[in-house]
Structure 1
Amino acid sequence: MKRPSQSWIADGVVGGVLAGLVVAVWFLVVDSLAGRPFYTPTALASALMRQAVGSPTLRLVAAYTVVHFGVFALLGTAMAGAIAALRTPPRLLLGVLFGLVAQEVAFYAGLALSDASRVAIVPWPHVVAANVLSGFVLMNYLHRAARDQHPFGWTALRGHPLLTQGLVTGLIGAGVVALWFLALDVAAGHPLRTPAGLGAALLFGASNATAVEINLGLVAAYTVFHVVAFFLAGVLFVAIAEQIERTPGLILLATMAMIVLDAVVVTALALGAQWVLGTLGVWSVLVANVLALSAMGWFVWATHPLLRRKLREPVEMRV
């Protein structure tokens, strides 16, 4: 049965406002951890008004807040209308698309139309993370508002073994790396220095060790980024394993892909946080990656009996 337009419009507005609230709270926490509360709305409001960034004022923060929630209400209404027109249930994947496409386009289009050269651009990891999280909140609200009976969230995830196994595999890898660097930091007399340094460099743009202040908030922020990255790696790892189950001859190609992936991680770290890599030492990063791959490989090996059987069979190579 088709829902009245007034219903999905109201749901879209409310869901959009909730999504906007998630983004606002995210950046309030980020700004507070950096010791400059309300910097982000002040900077973005200054960009929209084409003026230099100054100290936060009630006028600037309030003005940007109105624009912020107005844009999110429109985006939420558009998303609710698209779901109603396509007659598809709200899904987490649509939340990802909402965060990575609709919000990213709106955000960077707004910066492009304003005098963005006068404002320090908000670090992209924060933009992506906040937008995706807000997309999840929007979809969750639309799912509840529509009283949809389709599985959603973790229930829907259980219907996709690849994602579930990828999540567990990624958590194992993330835990191994975290314990490795915790041990190194404790041995050096600086507990939690590594996650704090990486968080400061990748999320806040710190350029040297003196700019890093170790605190639980910064460590927690990087931990979220760390776990999400390993979740994606875990999904890729399990997908490769299942492909090898079907085609054992791809084992060599898969091994090369893992080596290349490891090199990409080190390169990305060198480009995004070169001074942190120098502090840690390349060897410690390589050892951490080897330990993570070994632990993830052990889990996949233990939970995929078909993979064990296929790899014990002689591999036929055709030229």
Structure 2
Amino acid sequence: MTPHTAQTDPSGSTIIETRDLVREFSVRKGLSRRVVRAVDGLSLRIGAGEAVGYIGANGAGKSTTIKMLTGILVPTSGEVRTCGLDPTTRRRDLARRIGVVFGQRSQLWWDLPLRETYPILAAIHGLSSERERERTAELVDALDLAAFLDTPVRQLSLGQRMRGELAAALLHSPGLVILDEPTIGLDVLSKAQLRQFLRAERERHGTTLLLTTHDMSDIEHLCDRVLLVDSGRLLYDGDLPSLARSMGARRVLVVDLELPHPDLTDLSDEDGTPLAGVDLVGSEADGLRQRLAFDTEKTSAARLLAAVTRRTDVRDLSIEEPDIEDVVRRVYASGLDT
């Protein structure tokens, strides 16, 4: 697989753009020093309204990239523009246009309840009292914050605090929201609530999302596009299904049969033509349930099912999509030359 090139926003409205972006760190080891390149010639473009997952292994350069996008770190070389601004020289102006949520860091005041926190943040962003009240009411309703608005942040559960963090980051209606591990440590219900809110916020306001996470289900539920990085270099830029196909990941047809049956191997069309790209990957309960992996570019699900039903009666079926975590592992295991 060759790396994809950065995509261009067809509307011409670019929210994030980097060109040959490099960030180096000097690391001391004993009496000597060596230079480590955390971001290595990164070029990418994200358009207004996109939802993009930025993924990679630990140490791939994700956090360093975000710090340069937000002006926390100065690039060693290359160019970066966020919301049309140079983050290094226009950091204060940029702060009014973006919202950032770090799963393991808080922008809330630990001893203050949320009700007292939001007016302070609104004042920092220059919102009028009327606009602060309107936006807070909107976020309280959307994130279901009313029950704990008067509770000090230190007494909130992790799920409650993360909803409070999201409201804080979105209070000033930023055009770009950067989310760094926003669902880390959350239970299934809390994750679902945050994802539902972010989808609705994007639909309602056209918010651009940049999401870094190790939870691939976040990417699947929220993102239309994925950027995969390794050692600070861009390996892939495209959608998840295309990434799965490029790495040979396959869908799986799960069939529950009416009666036990020998393993469904050597399946063929009605005229006897063997089905290409189909393998039996599991059989349970004497063949009552069988799992057949298939390459969608060689055999369709309908064609495979027809071949199965010519052999035996099917009681129920389902199709499993490729496991995205497995796809990412395949990318790294393949030792791509980027």
Larger CA Rg, structure 1 vs 2: 2
TM-score past 0.5 threshold: no
TM-score by length of 2: 0.22
Structure with the higher strand share, 1 or 2: 2
When normalised by structure 1's length, the TM-score is: 0.23
Q: Which has the higher helix share?
A: 1
